[in-house]
Copies of this chain bind each other. A is one copy, B any other.
Amino acid sequence: MTAHGMFRTVLVANRGEIALRIVRACREMGIRSVAVHSTADRDSSAVSAADEAVCIGPEPARDSYLNIPAIMEAASRTGADAIHPGYGFLSEDPDFAEVCDKEGVVFIGPPASVLARLGDKSSARALMADAGLPLLPGSMAPLASMEAAKRAAGRIGYPLMIKAVAGGGGRGMRIAREPGELAAAYTEARGEAQALFGDGRVYLERFLPSARHIEVQILCDGHGNAVSLGERDCTVQRRRQKLIEEGPAPGLPSEVLEEIRRAAVHGARAAGYVGAGTVEFLLAPDGRFSFMEVNARIQVEHPVTEMLTGVDLVQEQIRIAAGHPLEFGQDQVHPRGAVIECRVNAEDPARGFAPAPGVLACFSPPAGPFVRVDTHAFPGLRVSPAYDPLLAKVIVWAPDRARAIGRMRRALAEFRVSGPGVATTTGFLRRVLDDPSFRDATHSTSLVDELLKADSGD
């Protein structure tokens, strides 16, 4: 720590665009940054931009970006007094947060105990139910057996979703639309949960086939202050993977949104949350909303909120972790205009969004007024199939949503990415932007499936 109570050196335990994002934040704050990386990321943008870099393992994430001893050794040798975990990888791992604590390195995120409570979806639901947040009908405790699942399903009603207790980010889920689908869905969900998270416990929840996905960005400092920075609408999803995020949520009653934002702050306080986090809700067509989960980390779509509010969320994370109180209260948060973010992935929509990595012969992102692109890519980059296919996030601001859509169409049209075997989601994103239900903001989480169904139909 410096005399001003700020970290001297932050180690960035991540890769890709978020690692570069964090390195930039550090540089602007006068903090030294260390990029740890796998052998595959030796020439990455984050490594080039950071003050120091340490190779911590081979390409597979389990041996590098998930390798806690290697990361802690790198922190120790570079004198890092804090670690920023980004999103994914170790960002929500309570064990990692605990190891950091033990080694005297500040984990930039919520306390390990909070991560543990919110990471277990079953205990998170119980916590939020106690705090008075509305939940979808579901089984509170993990299901002990197929028999228990059947009993709970009878009580809750169909369609319903079987979800992994240890899940999150849209993985480890199965839908059962009628009783006949329950057994298979239960077995598959258990298997996937065990494979993905090493924890086969699952629970049941009512499934809303056409809802809106609304999430609230919150910031809580270690001094009891908590603010909401407004909501994001992440309704455009494919298999629960977000494709387009925007803010403010369009076409919804402002009193409902206000209520959701208040619920989010209330829930975060109840959880003892510290740092930047996101509380996710589903909003049914009847206007009733239900708590889904807390993402206890910086989120991919955080730039939406940054462009609306002018708050640098990564810098705020760092300040909060350094023990600083928030510099503003709820009444100083004034979102302005409308923001849309599109995720450009190295995936081929024509082949079921299969990963389409390769070497980028050409990479020329859009620019110009009110357009922000967060990317780690550059011409010549080898996009590894070992990692997330996110190539770039294109974010645009405009005074209103209609103009933001126009601006996003312009920006995506400017984007040039090509390379042998490389395909991107850009064209598909433009189709969504042009869809009448999206334009009218009458779409639901099933929009992408409907578009894809229309393709395969005649």
Q: CA of A21 to CA of B337 in the docked complex: distance in angstroms? A: 21
Question: Does more than half of chain A's interface fall in helix, strand or loop, or is it mixed?
Answer: mixed
B406 pairs with A28, CB closer than 8 A = yes
Tell me, yes or no, whether A399 is within 8 Å of chain B by CB: yes
CB distance from A412 to the nearest CB of B (A): 11
A413 pairs with B372, CB closer than 8 A = no
Name A336's contact: one of B336, B370, B378 (CB within 8 Å): B336
Tell me, yes or no, whether A310 is within 8 Å of chain B by CB: yes
* A21, A365, A368 interface centre (most CB from chain B within 10 Å): A368
Within 8 A of B (CB), among A19-60: 20-21, 24-25, 27-30, 49
CB distance from A198 to the nearest CB of B (A): 35
Tell me, yes or no, whether A367 is within 8 Å of chain B by CB: yes
A406 pairs with B369, CB closer than 8 A = no
Given A378-B364, A406-B29, answer yes or no on A336-B310 (Cβ-Cβ < 8 Å): yes
Point out the residues of chain B lying under 8 angstroms from A368, CB to CB: 20-21, 24, 372, 374
Point out the residues of chain B lying under 8 angstroms from A407, CB to CB: 28
Chain A positions near chain B (C-beta within 8 angstroms): 20-21, 24-25, 27-30, 49, 303, 306, 310-312, 314, 334, 336-337, 364-365, 367-375, 378, 397-399, 403, 406-407, 409-410, 413-414
Supplied contacts A29-B406, A367-B372, 20 more A-B pairs, CB within 8 Å: A20-B368, A27-B413, A28-B403, A28-B407, A49-B414, A303-B369, A306-B369, A306-B370, A310-B336, A310-B399, A311-B399, A312-B369, A312-B370, A312-B398, A336-B336, A364-B378, A367-B373, A368-B372, A368-B374, A371-B372
